[in-house]
Structure 1
Amino acid sequence: MGMRGYREVLRDPQIRRLVLVAMVARIPNTASALVLTLHVVQTLHQSYASAGVVAAASTIGMAAGSPWRGRLVDKFGLRRAVWPSVVAAVVLWPLMAFLPYPALVVAALVCGLFAMPIFTVVRKSLSVLVPIGRQRTAYALDSIANELVFMVGPAVGVGVATQVGTVPVMITIGIAVSAAGSLLLVLDPPTRLDQVGGVAGGTVPAAVDAHHIAPDPEHDRPAPLDPDALAAGQLAVALDPTADTFGTPARRAWRAGLRRLLPPWMTARVLMVLAASLGTTLVLVGTDLAILAQLRADGEVGSLGVVYFTWCLGSVVGAVVYGARHRPIDPMVLLLGLGVLTVPMLLAHSVPALAVLAFIAGLPCASVMTATAEEIARIVREDRRGEAMGWQGTAFTVGSAVGAPVLGVVLDASGPWAAYVAAGGCGALIAVVGLLVGRRRRSAASAAQLRF
């Protein structure tokens, strides 16, 4: 596929506008967490532990709200899902700038609940605008744009807040988030195939038709189907836990009960993707903390921007290469690479060495995000895809929420080297377990096919 895939994706003006608006919308979001922490510590004169409570409240709100907002996108479309966030941002962020600490905790929870569903909206829109054969490239492009924003947003937000104070910056964030949401409302990208031009009139556009035939753009033949991609037929029956005729009655009953508790689209494969998403943010949060702690210990905090830049640059390079690939890579394999490449960062004893190792460790980062989004779009039906992507956002949030305190304890107890090992090791462990479970499921599916 190569770079031609990027040119073909960007040839669509709707996609160009969507990626650009998403970048603008993410800039204030990338700075919000650090600015809120600075506000608690610098303006309200509270401890970092107190700032952690505010961050936790916001995280809980986002984890609870993400699936709900995704379901709104599925049922009612983009505008009904986004306008509450537009109103909440312009009201809550300026209000939080003047609230006392106890009220700020509650407001942060509500603000997280109504956070702008940028990830869900952009990824679901790309899933209907872009043919299956190009979706990997489109998701990689979105991940690259996200990494570019992270290179700038946090540094600018913290720098301005340090110079002029956190109150005006928080007011600005509220206005900027609301304005970005308004741009999304005006753009109103399609989130369902029936919104793509030409469907209503009976003419199926190429982008829609390609969703069904999944052509191989390199060889002009259908791409081989992954067994997990089949939504119906023999494998769907074979992978249904209630159809396990070889398990004990108690095991079959337990699986059937679990199936009733979960939504119908929440298959074992989707749970694996969510686990990979959680593991990715856990590794990234641990690495983030370890880099900061190592530079503080070495008296090189001023070089933090350089190391972060090379880390993000590695992620961008990896995403460009992955997006140009013709074949997908299992998200668990990419997560394993992320975990394994993170551990050697403990060997760095200078800023240049840390920057080089951070570049290498960042190579699989955005690729994992791309692969998980691609997998969700491939195996979840369109009418439930927004909710599934909302749950993926929750998985990202939970990984961050769990990783920060747990790896913070490791960091306090043993130092940065242990945090690198723990973060990379946790990601690698999740990946190995996921690969073993996936191998077992494929073996079970093959055995089940023989029974038909």
Structure 2
Amino acid sequence: MTTATTYRTLLRTPGAAAFFAPTAAGRVGIAMTSLSIVWLVRDATGSYATAGLVTGAFAVADALAGPQAGRLIDRYGQRRVLPPAVLAHAAAVATLVLSAAGHAPGWLLAAAGALVGATLPQLSAVAQARWSALLDGPRRSSLPAAYALESLSNSVAYLIGPALVSTIAAAGRPVVGTLAAAALVVAGGGVLALQRRTTPPVVPRDARRPHHRRALLRPGFLLLIGVNATIGGFFGTMSIAVTALAVERDRPGLAAVLFAASNGTGLLAVVLYGLRPWRPHPRRQLAAAGALLGVGSLPLLAAAHLPAVTAGVLLTALAVPVVLVLGAVLADAVVTRGVLTEAFAWLGSASAAGSALAATVAGLAVDSRGAGGGLLVAVAAACATAACTLAGLRALRPPPGPVPEP
């Protein structure tokens, strides 16, 4: 596969574009959902505290329910689980919108927000499972590029989605933003459910063996959970620390510039990574990317020197998306096909949990030590990620024989 045609060739694989396009649209809706809830609840109640409570309930429910939804998909198949899932999500969003319009109490709004999170379709995990099934056999070497394409789609969604919601809400239509997010999620998930050609086969009930469930407890997969949790911690910390740095310098616009530079660098990194095959084993690539993240974060310790902080932001942005892509590649290799969707969902939940926990710690650090304290937490999270990836050199070593499959 030549460098210039990697992504184009992937999308020309029979059936690939048909499921990639609706997934990309649905991802934009997912990227809009959390912020749209903030705008909706703030407009209805006038309280940022209530908006934060409802958004937090949404995030926690999504993180807890996501792996369970993935488990159902692995057991019963995407065609049977996705349609009721998207309908349940539509009903949950309608419940939240009506509750907000009716000025429901905070606890009821939080319950509705949790329902929205619990029913959010796991489109990324579903798409990754489809790529794994589509690129089986001799095309397996294209899997890292496919996961890089998924990462690229996700990054673009999180550039477009929040900006779109903010624009709609700023025009005085926060309800429209929430409904637009739900429409994209439901439409993307619904169209994806109709794409039967690339649906991964379901492992028959009588062929499921105990090793399928045990695959999620293998040291290699647990280590990947740790990688995603710590890199999620880095995400959550940087959003707090960089904002605090900009406020301390009395240059609020600086945060937007640094975030834009980070996002642009990350997009470039994942595009370039997926454009060519790499010779080292993925676990070695993961260790190298993790080391770059750890070393690249060290300039963040010089919080008083903006050029050093900028260098740290750009260096870590080069490493983060590659670590996430390789985590998906290695998870695909470590677990069995019967729990693959659930495994991908667990990785996403680990990132969300790490981000939420680290954001809380970073907030406390900023309150006590200023932006420098928050950046110190970010460096600690980056170094923890690097340590996990280095441990993967051993824990993710291929087994002497093939992984048993039914």
TM-score (norm 2): 0.84
In structure 2, C-alpha distance between the alignment counterparts of 1:146 and 1:277, rounded to whole Å = 16
In structure 2, C-alpha distance between the alignment counterparts of 1:22 and 1:63, rounded to whole Å = 19
1:363 maps to which of 293, 313, 318: 318
In structure 1, C-alpha distance between the alignment counterparts of 2:187 and 2:369, rounded to whole Å = 44
Aligned match of 1:244:
none
In structure 1, C-alpha distance between the alignment counterparts of 2:303 and 2:221, rounded to whole Å = 37
Aligned match of 1:66:
66
Aligned match of 2:94:
94
1:274 maps to which of 213, 225, 230: 225
> Is residue 292 of structure 1 aligned with residue 243 of structure 2?
yes
> Is residue 104 of structure 1 aligned with residue 109 of structure 2?
yes
In structure 1, C-alpha distance between the alignment counterparts of 2:372 and 2:197, rounded to whole Å = 45
Any conservation in 1 of the 2:58–2:115 contact (CA below 8 Å)?
A: yes
> Is residue 344 of structure 1 aligned with residue 299 of structure 2?
yes
Any conservation in 2 of the 1:155–1:305 contact (CA below 8 Å)?
A: no
> Is residue 395 of structure 1 aligned with residue 350 of structure 2?
yes
In structure 2, C-alpha distance between the alignment counterparts of 1:51 and 1:429, rounded to whole Å = 32
Q: How does 1:89-238 map to 2 (within 5 A)?
A: 89-99=89-99, 100=104, 101-130=106-135, 131-188=139-196, 190-192=198-200
1:317 maps to which of 268, 271, 274: 268
In structure 2, C-alpha distance between the alignment counterparts of 1:287 and 1:406, rounded to whole Å = 11
Q: CA deviation at 1:374?
A: 0.4
Q: Give unmatched runs, 5+ long, in structure 2.
A: 204-209, 401-406
Question: What percentage of aligned pairs have identical amino acids?
Answer: 23
In structure 1, C-alpha distance between the alignment counterparts of 2:242 and 2:98, rounded to whole Å = 33
Evaluate the alpha carbon distance shift between residue 189 and residue 371 of structure 1 in structure 2; reply closer, same or farther with a 3 A threshold: farther
TM-score (norm 1): 0.76
In structure 1, C-alpha distance between the alignment counterparts of 2:395 and 2:15, rounded to whole Å = 41
Evaluate the alpha carbon distance shift between residue 345 and residue 84 of structure 1 in structure 2; reply closer, same or farther with a 3 A threshold: farther
- Deviation track 1:133-163 (CA, whole Å, cap 9, x = no partner) reads 1101110111112112222211221222122
Q: CA deviation at 1:385?
A: 0.9
Aligned match of 1:238:
none
Evaluate the alpha carbon distance shift between residue 299 and residue 321 of structure 1 in structure 2; reply closer, same or farther with a 3 A threshold: same
Aligned match of 1:207:
none
- Code of the residue aligned with 1:127 in structure 2: it is S
Evaluate the alpha carbon distance shift between residue 194 and residue 384 of structure 1 in structure 2; reply closer, same or farther with a 3 A threshold: closer
Evaluate the alpha carbon distance shift between residue 27 and residue 436 of structure 1 in structure 2; reply closer, same or farther with a 3 A threshold: closer
Q: CA deviation at 1:39?
A: 3.0
Evaluate the alpha carbon distance shift between residue 439 and residue 90 of structure 1 in structure 2; reply closer, same or farther with a 3 A threshold: closer
Of stretches 432-441 and 35-44 in structure 1, the one that deviates more from structure 2 is: 432-441
Q: CA deviation at 1:181?
A: 1.5
Any conservation in 2 of the 1:92–1:111 contact (CA below 8 Å)?
A: yes
Any conservation in 2 of the 1:278–1:399 contact (CA below 8 Å)?
A: yes
2:333 maps to which of 378, 399, 403: 378
Q: CA deviation at 1:267?
A: 0.5
> Match of 2:187, SS?
helix
Q: CA deviation at 1:440?
A: 7.6
The structure having more radius of gyration, on CA atoms, is 1
Evaluate the alpha carbon distance shift between residue 338 and residue 17 of structure 1 in structure 2; reply closer, same or farther with a 3 A threshold: farther
In structure 2, C-alpha distance between the alignment counterparts of 1:27 and 1:138, rounded to whole Å = 19
Aligned match of 2:367:
412
- Deviation track 1:16-53 (CA, whole Å, cap 9, x = no partner) reads 233322221111211221222233334312244x4333
Evaluate the alpha carbon distance shift between residue 372 and residue 167 of structure 1 in structure 2; reply closer, same or farther with a 3 A threshold: same
In structure 2, C-alpha distance between the alignment counterparts of 1:277 and 1:175, rounded to whole Å = 29
- Code of the residue aligned with 1:320 in structure 2: it is V
